[in-house]
Amino acid sequence: MNAEPHLTAPNGIRYVAKNLRLDLRLIAGMIAPDSRVLDIGSGDGTLIAHLARERGCDARGIEIDMAEVAETVARGLAVMHGDADIDLAHYPDQAFDYVVLSRTLQAVERPREVLRQMLRIGAHAVVSFPNFGHWRVRWQLFSRGRMPLTPAWDRPWYETPNIHPCTIRDFFALCAAEGYRVESWLAADQAGMRAPWRRASRLANLFGEQGVFVLQRTPNVRKDRPA
């Protein structure tokens, strides 16, 4: 008997696998030391453990998978067993300096609402997602006429948890539409190594396997747009 059955839906297909170590390094590098951080989809707590230990952050997590939550709690970290689509609404305004969503935006039910919530409860949102505009994805769709299967998009269409794929340029467009300031961004390869096309979003969109963005909610400030 369950009040909110979504929590007990079969897990494991909810989030894409994370290449934590390098991805983590990229994201951790974008977060100021000693800040308050909420990691949405915190997995086994690797990122928040790193932030707490190495950067003196008050880092917390939200995770949907019970075993991962238990693991995180066992590491002495604060984590909420819950669902980003629902639980973010229950956090107070500006409770955190950074709210992190790593390779999960494409898997949530309502990405736009999740972004709004992130920038309501945090001063900055750090978002990473696999880039659907990568040349390999484009080439597979173009040459075979089938849904692409790549290291970043590795499940067939009928069982992928990634229900909202987007490209780096799509994400810029969404930020512009929502009035979010892109404080910094970069493209990276699958392993999380920074790609060299930093200021050329069209190239980044073609060659970057994932995008990492830091956003701020300051509607009246200049908006970064794709080149």
Partner 1 sequence: MIIADPRPLLAHQSARFEDGLLLDCGVELRELTVAYRTYGRLNRDRTNAVLVCHALTGDQYVAETHPLTGKPGWWEAVVGPGKPVDTERFFVIAANVLGGCMGSTGPLSIRDDHQPESGRVLPWGTDFPPVTIRDMVRAQKRLIEHLGIARLFSVLGGSMGGMQVLEWAALYPDCVFSAVPIAAAAYHTAQNIAFHEVGRQAIFADPDWEGGRYWERGKVPARGLAVARMAAHITYLSEQALTRKFGRRLRSGPSLTLFDDLFEVESYLRHQGSTFVSRFDANSYLSITRAMDFFDLAAEHGGDLAHAFAGSRTRFCVISFSSDWLFPTAQSRAIARALNRAAANVSFVEVESDKGHDAFLLDEPAFHRTLSGFLSGSAAAAGL
Residues found near partner 1 in the complex (CB under 8 A): 1-4, 7-8, 60, 66-67, 69-82, 87, 90-92, 95
Closer to partner 1 by CB, 116 or 223: give it.
116
Q: Which helix (H) or strand (E) holds 187?
A: strand 181-188
Q: Which residues contact 182 (CB under 8 A, 6 or more apart)?
A: 172, 175, 213, 214, 215, 223, 224
Find the shortest distance in angstroms from Cβ 72 to partner 1.
8
Of 221, 97, 52, 85, the residue nearest 163 (C-alpha): 85
Find the shortest distance in angstroms from Cβ 79 to partner 1.
5
CA distance 213 to 31: 12
| Whole-number Cα distances in Å, 101 to 18, 47, 66, 153 | 12, 11, 19, 18
Find the shortest distance in angstroms from Cβ 77 to partner 1.
7
Find the shortest distance in angstroms from Cβ 161 to partner 1.
20
Find the shortest distance in angstroms from Cβ 81 to partner 1.
5
Amino acid identity at 3:
A
Of 204, 206, 139, 191, the residue nearest 17 (C-alpha): 191
Tally of CA atoms within 13 A in the half-sphere of 181 that contains its CB:
10
Rounded to 5°, the CA angle 187-188-191 comes to: 165
Find the shortest distance in angstroms from Cβ 191 to partner 1.
30
Closer to partner 1 by CB, 92 or 145: give it.
92
Closer to partner 1 by CB, 5 or 145: give it.
5
Closer to partner 1 by CB, 42 or 102: give it.
42
